[in-house]
Chains A and B, each alone.
Chain A
Amino acid sequence: MTGQRGAAAVVGVGNTSFYKRGTSPHSSLQLTLQAVLDACADAGVDPRDVDGFVSYANDSTEGLAVGAALGVHEVRWSSLVWGGGGGGVAAAVNAAAAAVISGQAERVIVYRGLSEADDGRQSYGKGHFPPLLSAHGVLTPVQVCALRTQRLLEVDAVPASAMRALVLADYHHAQNNPEAVAYGRPLSAEQYADARIVSEPFRLYDCSRENDGAGALLVVAADRVPEYSGHPAYVLSGVQGAGPGWSESVENDDAYTSAGFHPALVERLWAQAAVKPGEVDVVQVYENFSGPAVASLIDFGLCPTGPDAGAVMTLENLTAPSGRLPINTAGGNIAEGFVHGIGLAVEAVRQIRGTSSNQVPGADVSLLLGGPMAPLVSATLFGSESTL
C-alpha cells in the first residue's frame, strides 16, 4: 500500500463496558451496535452514512447485519479478516484504511463484538485445534503459546521477569481506568507468582481475560477529516501477514519463538511510516498471554531478545507517564478487558487524542500490535497530525 502514510484516519471510537464473560444482558449484535453508535457520535456522523464494515476473528455478526440494523443508506464495502484470535485486529483497521484510500467506501466501521451466550466459549480458537493437537491434550491457545514461550525462556534465555513486568504494567494502568475490569484490584508481584498454574510457564495472571463487550472505530480518508468532529488519529502504516513457514503447521512453524512478526513485515511497517522503533511513544501489544506479548516487542526491536530483555522489561519502563516503553495504557486484554483486542485499538487512538486514563505526555506515535503467536498477525502505526 504505497501512499498509505497518513492517507486515512480514525475519527471516532466507541466501546461498551467489559462484562464478565457470559453475563452481558445484550447480544453480540446489540453490543456491536452500541459501540458503533458511540463511535459515530464521537465523530459527528449520522450512523446511516456509514457505508463500510470490517471485522476479524470470525465475528458472529456479519457487517451486512450491522448495516441493516443501523438502517444505513448503502453498504459499499465489507470484509472479514481471516485467522483465529486477535491477529486480525490491526489488519481490520488497515483494511478499512485501504477501502477509504481507494475510494471504495467513505466511512468504514471496524468492529468486534462478543457475547459468550451467542458465540460460545473460546470462539477465537474454533477450527484451529485439529486432532493432531487436541488428541494429545493440546486443546486451547494457552497451551500452544505455552509451548512456544517455554522455548523462548529456556533456549532464547528471555527471563520470566519480562512476562511478570508486562502483566504488572497492565494491572498498574488498570488502576487509573475506571472502565477496566481490574480497576480497584491491584496485583502485586507476590500475587502474580502465587497464582495457580494454567499451563507452564503460564500462571493465571499471564492469561488474558474473556469478556463480553464490543468496540468500534470509524475510519475515513484523511482529506475528509475536517468534516468530522472527532480528533483524528492518522494511519501512518499498517501491515498484516504470516511469514514463511508460518500458520496451521501443528507447531512446525519456523521462527518458533517469535510472535510471528517476521522481519520483512516489521521492516515494511517502519519504512511505510518513515518511523524508527525509537520514535514510538506508546504501544498497545496484544496479550493473549504474557509470553507472546514479550515476543512481539522483541520482533519489533522494541526490546532485545535473550537475557537483556529483562533490563528493558521492567515495571518502571513499561508504565506511563514516564516509562521508556509504555504499554497497554488502559490495562490491556489482561486487566482492562478482552474482546479480541478491540479495546487495544481504541486505546491506541486515545493516546493520539490525549485522552487515555494513563496518557503518555505528547504521544504522537502510537503502535498497535495484534495477535502474537496466532496464524495471522498484524500491526498499525497511528500518528498525530504533527507527524504528517
Chain B
Amino acid sequence: MATQAADKPVNETAPEAVVVRFAGDSGDGMQLTGGQFTLSTALAGNDLATFPDFPAEIRAPQGTLFGVSAFQINFGSREINTAGDAPDVLVAMNPAALKVNLESLKPGGLIIIDTGEFSKRNLDKAKYDISPLEDDSLAKWEVLAFDISALTIEAVKPFGLGNKDALRSKNMWTLGLALWMFDRERAPIEEWLKSKFKSKPEIADANIAALNAGHAYGETAELSGPLKQLHVDPIESKPGLYRTINGAEAISLGLVAGAQLAELPMFFGGYPITPASAILHHLARLKEFGVTTFQAEDEIAAICASIGASYAGQLGVTSSSGPGIALKTEAMGLAIMTELPLVIVNSQRGGPSTGLPTKTEQSDLYQAVYGRNGDAPMPVVSCSSPGDAFECAIEACRIATQYMTPVMLLTDGYIANASEPWPVPDPSTFTPFPTKFMEGKGADEELLPYKRDAKGARPWIKPGTPDLMHRIGGIEKAVDSGHIDYGSENHQVMTDARMNKVLGIDVPDQEVSLGEASGKLAVVGWGSTFGPIRRAVDNARGKGLDVSHIHVRHIWPLPGNLGDLLKSYDKILVPEMNTGQFKTVLRDQFLVDAQPLTKTSGQPFTIAELEAAIEGALA
C-alpha cells in the first residue's frame, strides 16, 4: 500500500499478484514461515499485504479444527491493498488445516498437502470420515500431495535429531519449497536462522538443511505434476529505502518519534492483553530513547501510572484492547478532568467481553468517542494501515501535548499483525511540537493552573517547580484557579470549555482518497478497511462506475469540511467491521443518509464483498 502502483505490469506473462496461504497446526510454526516468506517477498521488490489468522489458544490440542493457524500473503507487481480475498495456493500441513481453509481457495488453485499428517487419527480429529485424498472432494483444485514429514526427517537425518525435533523443521522445508516456487533468495532466511539459533548451531543447520531440501524438491519435481515456478515481477516503487513493518511496531516507533518531537521522555504503562501486548514488547527494548515501560498490576493501574507520569512531566502512554480499555474508562475521565496529556492506544478485537481475542473488529468506536461517564470529550485518531499507524501515533502525541488532553489512538488486530513494505521516513522532515512547561510566575501574580491559552489548553506545571504548588483532581475545578468548585454556573462554563477545546483541535481537512470530490457514491471508511475499500473502489472505477473513496483518520473531532464533502455525493456507503457505529456518528453530526455495510465475522472485508455493495448501491 505504501508503494506507488505501476501503470501496468512489466511482464505481460507474469501474474500481477498471487495469494498464498500457509496453514497448519498452531504448533507447526506457520506464523514464522509466513513472516519469513514476507521478508523474502519484500526483498524481491513486490508490494504485499499479509493476514495472520491464529487461534486464541497458545497450543490448542494438536490436529484439531480450532487449533489451525494460518498466514496469508498477497504480493504482486501492482499495488497491493489487502491480503487477498481467495488464495491461489494453499499449503495445508494437516487435515484440519485443509478442512478449515479449503473453502476460501480459488477454483483451480493449488493445494500442497503433507500426506505424512493424514493419519486416521488426524483425519478423525478433523472430522473427515474419508480422507479427502481418496475421494473426489478436491477435484476442482490442483493437488500436490506428498510426505513432507518424511522428506523433512530424511533431510535433517545427519544432524542426529529425534523424530519430534526433526519434524519441527517441517515449516522450513515448506518455506524452501515456497521460495523455489516464487523464485526467491534463500540467503536472508539462512542468516535469520543462524542468528535465531545462535546458541544452538545444530538446530540452525538442521533447519537450513530442511529449507534447502524443500527448495531442491521444487527443482527436481518441476518436470512432472502441477508444481510450476512462478516469477512475480517487482513493483515499480518510488525510489528510496524500504523495510517491512507491522502495525504494532509502527505504533511503537511513532510513539518514540512523537515523544522526541514533543521533547519529552515517554512513560508507557501496560498490562498484557492480546493483541496489544506487542507494543509493550517493542517499547521495552527502546529504553535508550528515554522510554520507561511499566508492566502494571492491571489495566487500571497501567493508565493511572501513565497519568501520574504525565502529571510529573513525561508523555504518558497506555495501551490495551477492548476489555482493557473498558477498565481504563474511569481514569480517562480523570485525565479529561485534570486536563493532562495522555495517549491511549486501543488495538481493537472482536467483542463484547472477551469476545474474539485474536480476531479483528472495529467495534470500539462508540467506546472511544462516547464511552465515558459525564460529558467527557476526547480526541480519537484511527490508523488505516501499518505504515499509517506510524503517522497516527505522532499525531496522537501532538494533540495530547499541545491541547493537554488524553487522545485515543484506534488500531485493530488486523493492523497490529499485518505487514507491508514501508518507505523509511526521514525524521528531519517531521515538524517538531516542543512542550512548554510553566516555569514560574510574577511575584504578585496569582497562580492560575486552569487559565487557558488561545487553544483552550491549560498550563502544564511539573511538581518540583519552585513556588507553583497547586492541587488538581477529579472534582470539578473552578475556572482559572482550579480550586474545588461545585457551583452550577462554573460547571456549565467548564463543561463548555472542555468540549470546545476538543472541538477546536486543528484537524486537517478531509481529502478524497480516490476519485472525485462529488458524484454518485462515496464509500466512507475508517481504520483497517482502507485496503479492501481502496481496491474495490479502484476496480469499480475501472468498470466506469462513479464512486469515490473517503477514508477518515480523525474520528473526533471530525474534519471541518467533512459534512459539506459528504453532502456533495448522492449516496454514502459506510463499510465497517461492526454493526454500523461510524455510520451513526456521521448521521448524527451531519444529518446525511449514510448507509451501513457491516461485517462482524472476525475477518476483514473481501474486495468482492465491497465491489458487490458498490454495484448494489449504484444499481
Q: Is A bound to B?
A: no
Interface positions of B (Cβ within 8 A of A) = none
Interface positions of A (Cβ within 8 A of B) = none
